[in-house]
Amino acid sequence: MHSPSGMELAGLAGLLAAVPAVAYLGQSGRRHTGAARRAHLLLAAGGAVSAAAALAGLASAALSGHHHQSAHTRTLATMVAIAMGIGTLTLLAGTVALPGATRGPAAALRHVLDGLVIAAAIWVAGWVLLAEPTRILGEATPYECAAIMLPAVLVVLALGLTSVLGLHAHRPRRNTVRVSAGVSVVAVAAALLSTGICRQDNEFALASVLLLAAGLIMVAYAVRAADRPVEVTGDVLERGGGYVVVPMVVVIGSLGYHLVSGGTLDAYGYFGLSIEGLALVARQYLALDDVRRYTTQLRQREAHFRELAHTDPLTGLANRRGLQEALLGTDQNDAVLIGIDMDGFKTVNDMRGHDVGDSVLTEVAARLRRNLLGGDVAARLGGDEFAVLMHGDADEAMLAAHRLLAVLGEPYEVDGGSIFLSASLGVADTGELLRDADLALRYAKQRGKNRVERYQAGYDELLRRRGTLQGELRHAIDRDQLRLVFQPVVALPSMRPVGAEALLRWTHPELGAVRPDEFIPVAEESGLINRIGAWVLEQAVVQLAEWLAKGHDVWVSVNLSPKELHNADYAAQVADVLAEHSVPPQRLVLEVTEHAVATDMEELVRRLAELRETGVRIALDDFGAGYSSLTQLRTLPVDILKIDHALVAEPESRTGTAAPLVDVVVRLGHRLGLEVLAEGIGTTAQREVVEEAGCRLGQGSLFGWGVPAEHFESRLRTLVPVGRRPLPAPRSTPPSDAPARSQVVRLGPGMRQVRALLPSDPAFRTDQNVGSVDSGREIGQG
């Protein structure tokens, strides 16, 4: 048994300084969670193993005495080297596992390989310096003790890893490098301790203890600082990769110097070169794998972006670019393009919001997909405009277009109810398909929408005229080119004028008389309809005020565009015009078409209710030609039902009486308390049909076309005032199958309404005769 020397006791005492550092690392590991917890516990375990191995080695060496180059000393040095090597490797693993040291397991592997490349270069350079013929340490070169090699390998590995982390660590770089540097100091301490024990050198042993304590304290301090918030720093690799060349230059330069100086390649040199080569090959393999993976990702992203570039994100259909690409790859002789535009869709967006509009567009796309054949391409060109590219001839395309017209015209069920939309379609089978289909589509919209048009060469001229009309229409009001004509509305059967519908006419000095069905759609599409509508309302009310001032008992109706109806201040605008010219509101009738009803029922009811609050009356125009239903009639705040001319012109029923639908509509309107007006009466037979159905208001060419105000006024002046009529003679009980009749019902001061009377009603016998219902006052116009 040997008594320890003072230097050995000092070394043992120095190890006590490492205990607080190890304890702090263990406490920090218990305090953290996740990756930080694992890293801190690894550092604590590595520090504990290294400190314990150093303490055991020093104690064993101090108690065993000095036996120079004895087998016991070499064995002890080897065991200490292995134990401290395990501790150092654990510390290195904890360093790599620190949050922010790497971006993930794959990056950690690459850091280790990069560290091996640098470590091998350091090893080769060190081997050249320590081997023959350089041998800079001379006789102190520690080759005699093989146990020193393991700590030496860990030293260069720690230095290489420290260098890599200094380049790559992104959060927090400074503290991560401090931890790695502390581990490098521990590795150096392990090498010195093994050397000291192997050579029985107390100075080496004492220096190793001091370095071990310093290294562990450095690690603990760096870990403590790493817990503070820091900013993420960039990767040096992103600013240049020249550092990769430096290790190879060192290896080549060192090996060349060694061989030129007469040295030979021994096992240590071969080991360093092998590690360098293997690390480089492994790193290159990973780099190639990265390149392959990145290339695959780039191809996938390119395909994804190409798909996005050719696909509409909302509907999943092809977009305009995708359609153009499909056109380029299609035989033009066998291709047909159908252009589609949803009529009135902008109103849906304005009134119900873009979310509902997007739902409708998605449903349109779904309906198009369900009606495609193999090889067909459906595309959304933008907004509510779609297209279908199909293979076949023009006849097949027209059949497909009419099928799509029916499919797209079905109701769209969305949150809040049903939305009714129609579609306009243009078909092109020759020439520039995209352009020609668009021209045909625009012509379909110009001709009234909800129809299919096939491209014809004359459409170019028509559309050029449309552009001319749009430009000239902007100045029509200022240039006094617009005027109103008034078509009479008569009481039946007396045919006495009781009202008039104001109709707009445009006469251009060069273009001549332009038809309303030609310039009204232009005004709506160009946004001029609001200004023109305001002018029409003003002029109609001014004329009505003049007639009323002259004692004529009439009312005037004005057609209301859906775009005007959707203006939030339109009701106030109407009230202001009526008040300005002192016209009773009930004398003005605003007509709204069924197409406006089909767009959005809830919003339409609200707008019409606002108008009725001003006192004006509302007429539902073209009833029977669109989407109106019984439920809508019960809900809509309307006063007058205008039967569409198509129903009036319907052939008579098999019974030889009134046209069936006219009879049904008249009875329905009267039952709902509405006045019923039949439009488009052009023959005496049609008038008789309407009268037989019980309708008491008529309008059409039989009673006069639209005429200037002075002509209509002259007709009013020729009317003979209606005096007191004698009571009708008592009637016998009517047959049960007699047609319905009308009865005037007083609703309030100055307000009357017409209701239907069936033969079964008690008042049927005592009601006034037909001839007594012939003035505006008696049919509720007073």
The pTM is what? Answer: 0.48
C-alpha angle 449-451-454 in degrees, rounded to nearest 5 = 115
Angle of helix 202-226 relative to helix 18-31, nearest 10 degrees, comes to 30
Q: Burial, 603: exposed, middle or buried (Cβ in 10 Å; 0-12, 13-18, 19+)?
A: middle
Highest mean pLDDT among 194-208, 452-466, 653-667, 747-761: 452-466
**3-class DSSP assignment, residue 490:** strand
Highest mean pLDDT among 65-79, 143-157, 515-529, 623-637: 515-529
Please report the sign of the dihedral spanned by the C-alpha atoms of residue 48, residue 52, residue 54, residue 55.
positive
Highest mean pLDDT among 108-122, 618-632, 712-726: 108-122
- Say how far apart CA 142 and CA 192 lie, in whole Å: 10
The pLDDT value given to residue 631: 62
Euclidean distance between the first and final Cα of the chain, in Å?
A: 135
Residue 442 in contact with residue 456, Cβ under 8 Å?
Answer: no
Read off the pLDDT of each residue in 137-149 and give the average, rounded to a whole number: 70
Per-residue pLDDT band for 611 (boundaries 50, 70, 90) equals very high
Q: Tell me, rounded to whole angstroms, the distance of Cα 194 from its chain centroid.
A: 68
Report the chain's mean pLDDT, rounded to a whole number. 80
Could you list the beta-strand ranges (E) of 659-701.
675-678, 697-698
- Does residue 80 surpass a pLDDT of 90? no
The pLDDT value given to residue 36: 82
Per-residue pLDDT band for 728 (boundaries 50, 70, 90) equals very low
Tokens representing residue 671 in the block: 């039952």
Question: Which of 187-191, 301-305, 327-331, 525-529 is predicted least confidently?
Answer: 301-305
- Say how far apart CA 200 and CA 337 lie, in whole Å: 96
Q: How many CA atoms lie within 13 A of 359 on its CB side?
A: 14
- Say how far apart CA 662 and CA 644 lie, in whole Å: 9
The pLDDT value given to residue 14: 66
Closest to 76 measured CA to CA, from 183, 187, 184, 193: 193
Read off the pLDDT of each residue in 385-396 and give the average, rounded to a whole number: 90
Peptide bond preceding 172: is omega within 30 degrees of 0, i.e. cis?
yes
Question: Which of 336-345, 431-440, 576-585 is predicted least confidently?
Answer: 431-440
Residue 459 in contact with residue 435, Cβ under 8 Å?
Answer: no
The pLDDT value given to residue 331: 76
Question: Which of 181-190, 300-309, 310-319, 647-656 is predicted least confidently?
Answer: 647-656
Q: Tell me, rounded to whole angstroms, the distance of Cα 388 from its chain centroid.
A: 23
- Say how far apart CA 114 and CA 106 lie, in whole Å: 12
- Say how far apart CA 587 and CA 539 lie, in whole Å: 14
342-371 b/e (C-beta count within 10 Å ≥ 16 → b): bbbbbbbbebbeeebbebbbebbbeebeeb
Query: What count of other Cβ atoms lies within 10 Å of the Cβ of residue 301?
Result: 10
Angle of helix 202-226 relative to helix 6-15, nearest 10 degrees, comes to 10
Tokens representing residue 41 in the block: 């516990």
The residue assigned the tokens 């707009």 is 504
- Say how far apart CA 387 and CA 365 lie, in whole Å: 10
DSSP 144: G
Q: What is the pLDDT of residues 398-435, one digit of tens each?
A: 999 999 999 999 999 887 678 889 999 999 988 788 88
Read off the pLDDT of each residue in 567-581 and give the average, rounded to a whole number: 92
Tokens representing residue 480 in the block: 């006094």
Look at phi and psi of residue 332 and say left if phi exceeds 0, alpha if psi is from -120 to 50, else beta. alpha
- Say how far apart CA 189 and CA 58 lie, in whole Å: 13
Beta bridge pairs of residue 591: 559, 619
- Sequence-ordered list of residues with C-beta below 8 angstroms from that of 243, at least 6 positions apart, any chain: 167, 236
The pLDDT value given to residue 526: 84
Alpha helices by DSSP H, 527-648: 529-549, 562-565, 570-580, 594-599, 601-613, 630-635, 645-648
**3-class DSSP assignment, residue 61:** helix
Question: Which of 166-170, 333-337, 548-552, 703-707 is predicted least confidently?
Answer: 166-170
Closest to 385 measured CA to CA, from 292, 287, 431, 319: 319
- Sequence-ordered list of residues with C-beta below 8 angstroms from that of 436, at least 6 positions apart, any chain: 337, 426, 428, 430, 455, 459
Beta bridge pairs of residue 102: 99
- Say how far apart CA 425 and CA 756 lie, in whole Å: 42
Q: What is the dihedral of CA 603, 605, 611, 616, to 10 degrees?
A: 150
Read off the pLDDT of each residue in 293-309 and give the average, rounded to a whole number: 80
- Say how far apart CA 107 and CA 287 lie, in whole Å: 11
**3-class DSSP assignment, residue 766:** coil
Q: How many CA atoms lie within 13 A of 272 on its CB side?
A: 29
| Comparison of pLDDT for 3 and 617, the residue scoring more | 617
Tokens representing residue 533 in the block: 């509508």
Query: What count of other Cβ atoms lies within 10 Å of the Cβ of residue 515?
Result: 9
Residue 193 in contact with residue 78, Cβ under 8 Å?
Answer: no
- Does residue 759 surpass a pLDDT of 60? no
Read off the pLDDT of each residue in 270-294 and give the average, rounded to a whole number: 86
Tokens representing residue 521 in the block: 């759609």
Query: Strands 412-414 and 417-419: what pairing?
Result: antiparallel
Question: Which of 135-139, 523-527, 705-709 is predicted least confidently?
Answer: 135-139
Please report the sign of the dihedral spanned by the C-alpha atoms of residue 151, residue 153, residue 157, residue 159.
positive
